[in-house]
Structure 1
């Protein structure tokens, strides 16, 4: 089997926008990258795809019902000024049906932000923590502040300022901080977790996904596997996860696998056997029983009803 899910890469993004990936928008020898683009055009629904870069979209002047985000198989209306944060792990699609919708998109790669954010901040941001809602609603004052950050980055990347990339990195951190701060009251139950074992568990779990190749199957994940990686007893891991999330290790793992299974069933042409193998099941029948036990429908029934 050679099935795979293509990832949109930054050069492809610029190619689609009829824009060149110019060298002066690259940083240093490692090709770190950040850029801000502005548009007011309507957009049809974009392909439901994964990317190899991060994207933060700022919308302005949007009337209710004029935008729709499809994120992790959930349809989210985009009403009014907001930030939309997307990452390489979760497939996303967005459409805007109004020309009065102003949008600034900040795209950047892993290298640009690597090593500059505290682990606690990453856990509190939907850019890195897929358990947090990807849309941050903004007041008019908050929109103006964000707009200033985006426009300043836009000016910096084409300027001759010697330290423009450091300044752009600082502004990007401000945007990420602001988004996490604004979401904190709404998601305090998620963001209050400070146990290093819990954070380590979710970081390890998220690294296993997404599944993009049928010939590189996901090894079936178990509580014991994560406990050994974290150098703790499996009972301790289960205890701290239960305390901080209300869910056992097994439940969290199962939820992640089922989310990925639904994504593959909805958005690929892989047959069910290929999906089963990609998710680490030795036999399709085992995957069918697993999926039905946790969703009350078979993979085939889910795909037909999608």
Structure 2
């Protein structure tokens, strides 16, 4: 939440001018950029993991609100009374996190709920600004979003975004818009970029890990190892096992 200062918040092909106190709900999978337009900046951050979120919060109406919808508006401008309330909540959270109270995390979850409910009362901003070069901005954000999924460190870890539609949804743009931007900026399609990066990671896992083919396939988002083998051979002209033999990888 910003309480002082101005700037431009950008994501996908949208930019919004922040010229007064605001509160923003960020999707952890979407890259954002903040360009300050004033020297003095002040505000609060509230960062938490998925483990922090209680089942109650996930199951109630809040989880279905615009705050969490990919295509929804996540930026809100609080009025004077709302701003005063939100500042008080954030200050209470900062004090509570340092306390010795045994149930402080339950209390912190309640504070998060208050913030969300207060935001739901606000009207989202209506004015968006189209960047000078939207294609380059979309390309930059896509490549950053793609790279955020790697490296894969454990067989239980799996890719969340695997298709052009899924990436476009996270970036809040149409699939054709994303594909056109990438083609214009890089000469490659969305599918080509995804396939190349998955292939690169597959090669690294085949060479440097002792995971079996099924584990690698699962971690890269393939439901069946046979689909992974077909994909890998199409990209490299050899099977995963042949690749391992060629590079002399030692698998225990």
TM-score (norm 2): 0.53
User: Once the 2 structures are TM-superposed, how far is the Cα of residue 181 of structure 1 from its aligned partner?
Assistant: 2.5
- Structure 1 residue aligned with 2:70: 130
Verify the 8 A CA contact 1:214 1:274 in the aligned structure 2: no
Greater Rg over alpha carbons, structure: 2
Cα RMSD over matched residues?
Answer: 3.8
CA shift, 1:184, in A, is 8.0
The Cα of 1:88 is off from its aligned counterpart by 1.3
Rounded to whole Å, the distance in 1 between the matches of 2:85 and 2:105 is 20
Distance 1:255 1:86, change over 3 A: closer
Of the three residues 51, 57, 60, the one matched with 2:3 is 60
- Distance in 1 (alpha carbons) for counterparts of 2:124 and 2:15: 22
Instruction: Give, in angstroms, the shift of residue 275 of structure 1.
Output: 3.0
8 Å Cα contact 1:214-1:275 kept in structure 2: no
- Asked if structure 2 preserves the Cα contact closer than 8 Å seen for 1:73 and 1:263, the reply is no
More strand by share: 1
Aligned position for 1:257: 175
Whether the 8 Å CA contact 2:76–2:124 is kept in 1: the answer is no
Q: How does 1:1-306 map to 2 (within 5 A)?
A: 58-62=1-5, 66-117=6-57, 118=59, 120-126=61-67, 128-183=68-123, 211-212=146-147, 218-219=162-163, 256-258=174-176, 260-261=178-179, 271-273=186-188, 275-278=190-193
More helix per residue: 2
Superposed CA deviations along residues 251-296 of structure 1, whole A, max 9, x for unmatched, are: xxx9542465478679xx9x4436333457xxxxxxxxxxxxxxxx
| 2:225 alignment partner in structure 1 | none
Cα distance change, pair 276–165 in 1 and its aligned pair in 2 (3 A): same
Q: Tell me, in whole angstroms, the C-alpha distance in 2 between the residues paired with 1:265 and 1:169.
A: 44
Structure 2: distance between partners of 1:67 and 1:101: 9
Note the C-alpha offset of 1:185.
Answer: 11
For residues 105 and 214 of structure 1, the distance between their equivalents in structure 2, rounded to whole angstroms, comes to 25
Number of equivalent positions? 164
- Uncovered stretches (5+) of structure 1, i.e. residues with no partner: 1-57, 187-209, 222-253, 281-306
In the TM superposition, residue 121 of structure 1 has moved relative to its aligned partner by 1.8
Q: Deviations over 1:102-143 (max 9, x none)?
A: 2111111111115232353222133x2121222101111110
Aligned residues of 1:69 and 1:78 also touching (Cα < 8 A): yes
The CA distance in 2 between the partners of 1:110 and 1:140, in whole Å, is 31
> 1:214·1:278 contact (CA, 8 Å) conserved in 2?
no
Q: Does structure 2 retain, via aligned residues, the 8 Å contact 1:218–1:279? A: yes
CA distances 1:86-109 after superposition (whole Å, capped 9, x unpaired): 111222111223343321111111
Return the TM-score normalized by structure 1. 0.45
